[in-house]
Structure 1
Amino acid sequence: MKVKGLFVAPYIAMEHLVQECQKDDTELDLTIKTGNLQEGIKFAKEAEEKGYDVIISRGGTARMIEKAVNIPVVDVNISGYDMLRVLTLAKDFPGKKAIVGFSNITQGAKAITDLLEITFDMFTINDKNEIEPLVKRLKSEGFQLIMGDVITINAVSTIGMNGILIQSGKEAIYEAFQKAKSIHQLVIKHKDELKLLSSILGVAAKDIIVLSEHGDIVYENWKGFSERPVTVEQLTNIIKAMDKTNIIQCNDCLIKIATSKIKMKTTSYIVCKVSKMKESTSKLQSLNIKVLHSTQMLVTESETMRTCLAMIQRHLSHNHFILIGENGTGKELVAQYIHYKKFQSRKLYASIRINDFMNMNIDELDSDVKTIYIHSTDCLQEGVMESLSPMIQSLKDKEVTVILALTRENPLLGELIYDDSIVRINLPTLSERKEDIRELVTLFMTHYHQTLGTSAVKIKNEGLSLLMHYNWPGNVEELKMFIKDIVLMEKGYIIDEQLIETQLHRKELKQTQQMSTLLSGTLEEIEKRIIELVLEEEHFNQTKVAKRLNINRSTLWRKLKK
């Protein structure tokens, strides 16, 4: 089968020569057009649309066509014979002579002139726009003859100078024909290899999509989905983030996209393997699954927090952590920090309430979930300890890191918190890490400035002093909410002492009023309010409420019915 090619000749004389050479070649089905630069690009684009195999042209036209189309382009070289013919014609021409052109012309010319010990001035250009001012300057400097390609000779003729066009001879055209056929054979070979790889992928790799580094879809194969389950926008975001694992909501299920980058010599490709998360995992609403692209900064100006962080760093190889700290001390933030340090964004992080965890089927947990943070352990119902321990061990056997959060040590948990293999991290209250308050305030103000568009960017030192001397029973979370309140109130850039003092006073007054309300009325009314408050604190776990009040459940039930 003949190679279908287009020859774009930049000058008329070349077209006639190509027609003669074509008669000697039976393997090329060649269409010949005459056109330089932009006109040549037009012909080349038309040929590409019509399914041509290869394009042949010369010099600047060939280089411009190569950038404009996606099929092979062969540049007709200027041979030593071509250059020798021109130099022979110009040798006896009177006056100053120069050769002007792109490097493909001037380099070959220099090799010949050096060999023959002929003196000619050489001027190499990098862009067509350099030619016109250059030849005008050469004319003003007394040059009488310019040798070059089509664009150079056209510029020379417009200012009335003599010019000789460096033409390609038969030798260079025959060489270009051969190169075009060789390149075509190589392209066919590569296409066959790609077809083979596509066939292999179609059989071996299901639900895969390959993207160029610019986001163009190079290949896709879907077996487990009726159509592409991700949008172009989602794919673009994946390329920008270049995270190893991504979770995307797709209709009624969650899908995972695991990405990897393949680097070639001139470009890169992103391979995305798509899979549905296990149905039990994606439908368990109480299991909050995340890909942690980063983790919020931990403030460690205080010695107590530096000790916690050092403890974590030394034990990252472990897979069972206990975080002990009051409400609001940032236990989940620390859990996310542990996960990110161990897995970055390659694996999934999940959090779940302990009572929901007890209803999970561990065997159906998605294999990419590598950290489970179990919280609300104060709500743990009695009689489940025998089941909890083997469930946690089952996770550890699957190389899942288990992080258990406690507000206080609970002896009922026994070996779950006192085993030697467990890393215990005691998180300080905010009153035990007051050196961190200044940095925490800055962190929270920055967060609300970026997310809520608040104006305030600084708190005066007197105001910071008030914050550092406050007790903060709700710890870091209480401080964060307080900062949110005052930055929303402040319309200027700086928060002064008065606003902070006023808001802290209101906070203390409200707490006093709540306590006063709690202790007002008859003994029976006070008792009922206390029971209701403890019920709320214990998440309505009547067994725990009875224990805290040192009464049995029947007594508690009777008092609630009054």
Structure 2
Amino acid sequence: MLQKDRIKILVVAPYNGMVNLVRAYALSRQDVRIDVKLGNREEGAGIAKIYEDDYDVFLSRAQTAELITRAVAKKVIDIGIGYDDLLRCIMMAKKTKTKFCLAGHSSLMKPARMLLELLEMDMPAINTEDSQEAARAVERMREEGYETVICDMIPLNYVRDAGMVPILVMNGTDSIRVAVDQAIAYFRDNIDSRKNISLQTQIIAQSGMDYLVLDEKGEEVFTCFRDQTELPGIRRKLRKELTDSLQTKSRSFFIKWKKELYSIRSVLIDEEDSPRVIFCVEKNRIPQIYMKYGIMILNRKDAEKSFRNSFISNTQLARNASGELRNRRDVFSGVMITGEYGSEKDKFAHMIYARGPGTERPLYMINCSLINDKSWRFLLGNYNSPFVDNGNTIYIANLNALSKERSRQLLSVILETRMHQRNHMIFSCVREAGGELPHEALEYTNALGAAVKPIPPLREQKEDIISGANLYIGTLNGKMGKEIVGLTDDAAQRLIDYDWPYNSVQFERVLREAVQMCDEPYISCDLIETAIEKEKVFTSCGSGSILPVRGLIQTEIDITRTLDEINREIVRLVLDMCGGNHTKAADRLGISRTTLWRLEKQRT
């Protein structure tokens, strides 16, 4: 094939692991141009529509491929699941020593049934073509005592919500190669009949409210945005809300884009067979600068995602708390969360918000470890402060990081303005290992009648360690493009035996390091030992030589070293915490990206 006639393929990957896999494979194919973008289901279909005129063939998987087929006129090829991919997941499920089954789109279940027949394994492989089928199927699995589910993206979150362990089926290199070869064959056979269909959007300029109208497929019918630079990002966000907005005549919610909060009201215009949704958009007025210094805003989806990606989401503590919230959605009293450093108090707070009442309104997170004088004055004295509004959820984290004066001042403001009666209040305090309930926690719970929710240290949650490890390894497989089945028995026992002085945050860090180093199907005990050995940077010094860095890093820093060494260590930890994202890390540290780059360069 001549260079100028090279087929242009866009792979729409429904998960991060496939992005990494496709990029690596694309380097080996000089005869074809292969690009990849991340997008699952409706989002993936929207991406395909945007780039329809730029590519000859689209590749995706399961329901995302099905939705793209409906959205574009170009050829769409479903990246099938290989038997090796399924077999790896079955081996991983067996390693959990729990009762397991399979569930997912028909394109996954068909080869799964054939493999089960070849292996002479008698277990259900359940078709879930959409979210409703997935919800019903997962409920039946839970009732029948299944603890682990091999699945694709459709039932994934329902499995997690039900307290079961999901194992996501991910494609291997061979399945990508087969799909690319199919695309090339199609291109060569149909080069003269390829279609070029362009989608035109009508922009009408007028003053007043910003708004966007979408049809039931997510196609743009009408827009009126004063700042056109905001439109693409907000449009992508609103397409994710389209399914919910098509179910009700009107609803109010909010989205976050580029650290700005937008209040949204959607109205359904249901005309015969062509429903439309009008989205009215208004920007929130909290200045961006305060988002850097202790004030964050989350919506329900962000909070739920934050919780689901944490170790604590797979513990009995979280399952019990989630059940209580489902049974008492009409009742909400203040909550005081306590726990040691690294015990994921923030993630627990995100779960309380995401599964409690008031999720149509934002979660304001006030991190007392990061509040500066300017932020403090804004919170207590500005008419745009979240303390002035009603009906929100306000999470005041690391309460005992405040000075005594500010702690008493805050409590006085809450009581005098009846903030705890006008809003849903959540607090958190750090509780030292073996220590009593902090004074601040006692003072606030007594004054406000808040319920105390202690999070036990990881060393007291031994029964959750292995299931949590398997779930987190699956998450890391997706992020790093790995294909690790699980832990060897001695590696699993080492995780159980270790004391975990810095709790879940340290647990996740050790597993992340072990997965990064692992080149075999199973993580060995030696790799776990190596990862734990690296943790001695936090525990090797004597009494009085450890500095807790609250709010930024839920661990401790050795202050017996030079200032340059301490700075380099903090930069490394914050970059790790932000997944290598320099912009986020600089924001968390309160420094410019230039300064961060300089410090990172020093450390290398």
When normalised by structure 2's length, the TM-score is 0.46
Instruction: Return the structure number with greater relative CO, CA threshold 8 A, min gap 6.
Output: 2
Output the TM-score relative to the length of structure 1.
0.50
